[in-house]
Amino acid sequence: MLAADEAAAADPLLAAPQYFSAGEMHAPPGWHYPETDVHMRFDHWLSSDSTNWTHASKLYESSGVFDGTDRRGSTWAPMAAYDPADDHWHLFYVAYRASPDYRIKLGLYSNKSLHYYTQWDGEIWHAVSSVKGSGSAGISGPYVDVGPILDQEGLGGYSASKDAWEGDHGVDMFFPFLTKQHGWLGLYGSEFGKFGAFCGDDPANHGHTCRQVGLAQIDSGGGDQPKQLTATSLRGQPRASAAAASTGGLADGRWSRLSNLNPLDKAFRPAVPGIENPVVIQSQDKQWYIAVYHIYTGASIGVSFSRDGRTWTRQPGDVLLGSDYCGNSVTTACGLVAEPTLGKGVYSLLYTARGKCGKVDCPLESTCRAYLVNKAES
C-alpha cells in the first residue's frame, strides 16, 4: 500500500513513499504447524527514494489460530486510505479462518486441487488510525479495529444469485478509492466458486481457479455530518443503524456491491487465471484512475484505467518487469507512487515476487521496485 498524493501535499514527510507489508511467520506460541501463511503480521515501512526502506512500526499481528474458530486467524493485504471527510487514515485488510480440517479436495468438476485451507471464509475488516490527520503521524497509527465491512453473509448486500461469481475463498481483496463523481468506490474480489456458476459458464474454465473482481461503493445518502472519530469512540461501537442516513465517508462503513456491473472480467482479465489485489491511484495529471494488479503470468503485471472509477478499460498486453534482480513470478502489485523528480509521468511500482532471479540470489519472496512511465503524461 502506498500513500495518497493528496495527503502528501499537506505533509512533506508523507511525500516519501509508505509501504504496508503483510509478512508470513511461523506458528505462534502454543501452536505447532508447518504452514507459514497462517500467522501473519502487518508492518509499516518508510523510504525517501522507493529504493531504500526502513522499518517504522508493526501495525498488526494475526492470531495464527489454526482450528477454524477465529475469523481473523490469518490476515492479509493491508490497504490504507485517507478520508478528508473525517480527517483520518483508514486501514482495510482481508481476514480468514484457517484450519487443517478444510484441507479437502474441492470435488467440483475435474478440479483435484485442495481448498484454501490456510485462508477461507474471507471477510474485509476496517480499522481507523487513532491519530487524526492526513500526515505521517496519522498514517502510522496505531489502528483500531472498528469491524467488518464486506463478506458473503450480511455485509455489502451479498446475493447468492446476483453475486454467484464470488467463490468460497470469501471476499479476498479490497481496495478503496475516492472519486469525484461517485464518492468512495472499492474494488473487491473473490476466488473459486462454490456456487452454480463455477468460473462462469465456459466449460473450458471448469476445473480451474477463477479470480475475479467487482465494484462496491459507500452508500451516500447525503446524510448527517461525518462522525467524529476517536479511538475511544470507535472501539467496540456498532455501525450506524441502517435507518440512519449515510454520510458517504469511509467512517460510515456501509458498503454495497454494485452487482449489476460485476464481475469486471472484460475491464480487467478473464476469470482464468484472473487477477488479484488491484490497487488504484490517480494519474499525476488527475485525468485517470489507474489500476495495477497481479495477473499470475511470470514477471509481469496488468493495468486497467478509468475516467470515473466505475467504467474500466483493460490496457492490452502485460507490463513486463524483468527478473534479473527480482523473482520471476510476481505475487502482488503493491501500488504506484508518482516520481515527478524522475520525469513526467514516471511512477515507482512496488511489487512482491518469488522464484528465480537471473543475476542475483533471490532466496525469499521479497518486495521489489520498478519504474513505470505513463506515456500519456511523459
Partner 1 sequence: MWRLQALLLAVGAHATDPSIDTLKARGRPRDLGEIVIGLAQAQAKNITGLEGSFYTRTSDGVYHVRAVR
Selected binder of partner 1 within 104, 114, 160, 245 (CB under 8 A): 114
**Cβ nearer to partner 1, comparing 248 with 263:** 263
138 phi and psi angles, rounded to 5 deg? -65, -45
d(CA 193, CA 363): 33
d(CA 199, CA 212): 9
d(CA 35, CA 144): 28
Selected binder of partner 1 within 37, 70, 87, 145 (CB under 8 A): 37
Selected binder of partner 1 within 190, 209, 217, 282 (CB under 8 A): 209
Q: In the range 138-177, which residues lie near partner 1 by CB under 8 A?
A: 169, 172
- Residue 235 in contact with partner 1, rule: CB under 8 A: no
**Cβ nearer to partner 1, comparing 55 with 235:** 55
- Residue 57 in contact with partner 1, rule: CB under 8 A: no
| Minimum separation from the CB atom of position 71 to partner 1 (A) | 17
- Choices 23-31, 158-166, 214-222, 233-241 (CB under 8 A): range interacting with partner 1: 23-31
**Cβ nearer to partner 1, comparing 74 with 247:** 74
Selected binder of partner 1 within 305, 312, 337, 338 (CB under 8 A): 305
Q: Total residues contacting partner 1 (rule CB under 8 A)?
A: 91
DSSP string spanning 110-140? Answer: T--PBP-TTSEEEEEEEEEESS-SSSHHHHH
- Residue 350 in contact with partner 1, rule: CB under 8 A: yes
| Minimum separation from the CB atom of position 205 to partner 1 (A) | 11
- Residue 242 in contact with partner 1, rule: CB under 8 A: no
The answer to whether the beta carbons of residues 327 and 365 sit under 8 Å apart is: yes
- Residue 279 in contact with partner 1, rule: CB under 8 A: no
The answer to whether the beta carbons of residues 347 and 336 sit under 8 Å apart is: yes
- Residue 324 in contact with partner 1, rule: CB under 8 A: yes
**Which residue type does 354 have?**
R
Selected binder of partner 1 within 11, 43, 87, 145 (CB under 8 A): 43
The answer to whether the beta carbons of residues 105 and 114 sit under 8 Å apart is: yes
- Choices 22-30, 130-138, 225-233, 263-271 (CB under 8 A): range interacting with partner 1: 22-30
Within a 10 A sphere around the Cβ of 114, how many other Cβ atoms?
A: 12
**Cβ nearer to partner 1, comparing 72 with 227:** 72
Q: In the range 60-99, which residues lie near partner 1 by CB under 8 A?
A: 76-77
3-class DSSP assignment, residue 8: helix
Selected binder of partner 1 within 63, 119, 190, 259 (CB under 8 A): 119
d(CA 82, CA 151): 22
- Residue 55 in contact with partner 1, rule: CB under 8 A: yes
CB neighbour list of residue 243: distance below 8 Å, 6 or more residues apart: none
| Minimum separation from the CB atom of position 143 to partner 1 (A) | 17
Selected binder of partner 1 within 3, 8, 128, 321 (CB under 8 A): 321
**Which residue type does 260 have?**
N
d(CA 226, CA 365): 41
52 phi and psi angles, rounded to 5 deg? -105, 120
Give CA angle at 273 (169, 163), nearest 5°: 45
Cis bond upstream, residue 263 (ω within 30) = yes
- Residue 281 in contact with partner 1, rule: CB under 8 A: no
3-class DSSP assignment, residue 10: helix
- Residue 319 in contact with partner 1, rule: CB under 8 A: yes
- Residue 100 in contact with partner 1, rule: CB under 8 A: no
**Which residue type does 245 have?**
A
- Choices 137-145, 175-183, 212-220, 325-333 (CB under 8 A): range interacting with partner 1: 325-333
